[in-house]
Structure 1
């Protein structure tokens, strides 16, 4: 790997010889699963990682349909697998994590969050992640990096952290993560209706030990579903109104006389 200034590129045709083997000089190299670039931005790492996460998400999409399929714990397990792939080596790349790599990371998280809540693919990342109870992966990467730094610091002093110390660190850092997540939700870029509804009960929502989201419940919470206003927005209906009511989720559930026993308003 050739290290160079910000305005220079590796000399064309450069190579080194090791044991009689010629090795070309490039702008990036893979080492222990991480792609290192000459400027330590890790943009190349995430550029190569994103398609892998997308393929994993696409494969799991076939296993996690909106109707039927595995239950909520199984869906969370699958999401955890992709999360582990995404956050591999986090203590190394977190200090250099820029906006573009973070955006790629969170875009992949959106796919898994939508699979968890059985939602339409048009749901925003902020809304889907909140409903699924999945903190943004860039914030989780920061927690992993802080845990790693504390372990390294104790090892330098010749100490070994006790299990209760590790548990206390994890609890403290998870608390800080939720504070940062809630602060971020105060200025969402999308999914305003869902966030406005859930944010006042943020802790209760994340800590609840009962209830799961069904395909139809997610439609009601997000407004992305068999509602004419939404279908009109994606050009599937000519007009935004229902035959029977205004056809916003709240109108369908609270007002529409055709909403009976949990069945959505008939068209």
Structure 2
């Protein structure tokens, strides 16, 4: 229900709207994976295995408008083409999710680094993502 009408509102997602969308998803994802209520949005989504809704909304929006354009031209895609498009959307969602997790905003909590003596930061460990997406070890293959 959270993504209802996503093609219409996905372009209007700014920071405050994204926060409104992330809050319920974090709560649902944290409950799904039995995490503490203090777990962050990104961690809860990874543990629950659900991509962020803002990513899914953007991908659904692109798919809707592409299909609407086809219908306006009077085209009717074959079922195989629809399944290929669905698979491409899934792949795009995972790629966007992986690149978002690799982004600096999730590497360290709000940019703070530890100052305690003897504390060493390792490279952030990113979740396992399917390898059929072209993302290997969370880095895009060229």
TM-score of the two chains, using structure 1 as the length reference: 0.41
1:115 aligns with 2:56: no
Contact preservation (8 Å) 2:3, 2:57: yes
Cα deviation for residue 98 of structure 1 reads 1.1
Matching residue of 1:102 = 18
CA contact 2:94–2:129 (8 Å) conserved in 1:
no
Provide the C-alpha distance between the structure 2 equivalents of 1:142 and 1:165, rounded to a whole number of angstroms: 20
Q: Which residue is equivalent to 2:80? A: 164
Name the structure 1 match of 2:124.
196
Unaligned runs of at least 5 residues, structure 2:
110-120, 132-142
Instruction: Report what 2:42 is aligned to.
Output: 126
List gaps (5 residues or longer) in structure 1: 1-84, 205-267
The answer to whether the 8 Å contact 1:139/1:177 transfers is yes
Offset from partner CA, 1:115-156 (integer Å, 9 cap, x none): 110111011111110011110100000111111112111111
3-state DSSP of counterpart to 1:150:
helix
How many aligned residue pairs are there? 116
After TM superposition, give the deviation of residue 161 of structure 1 in Å.
2.2
Give the CA RMSD over aligned residues.
2.0
Return the index of the structure with the highest Cα Rg: 1
- Residues 1-267 of structure 1: matches in 2 within 5 Å? 85-186=1-102, 187=104, 188=106, 190=109, 196-199=124-127, 201-203=128-130
- Distance (whole Å) between structure 2 residues aligned to residue 119 and residue 168 of structure 1: 35
C-alpha distance in 1, partners of 2:11/2:44?
27
TM-score (norm 2): 0.74
Q: Deviations over 1:10-57 (max 9, x none)?
A: xxxxxxxxxxxxxxxxxxxxxxxxxxxxxxxxxxxxxxxxxxxxxxxx
Q: What is the Cα deviation at residue 202 of structure 1?
A: 2.6
CA deviation string 1:199-224 (max 9, x = no partner): 3x3327xxxxxxxxxxxxxxxxxxxx
* Bigger relative contact order, structure 1 or 2 (CA pairs below 8 A, ≥6 apart): 2
Which protein has the bigger helix share? 2
**2:101–2:126 contact (8 Å) kept in structure 1:** no
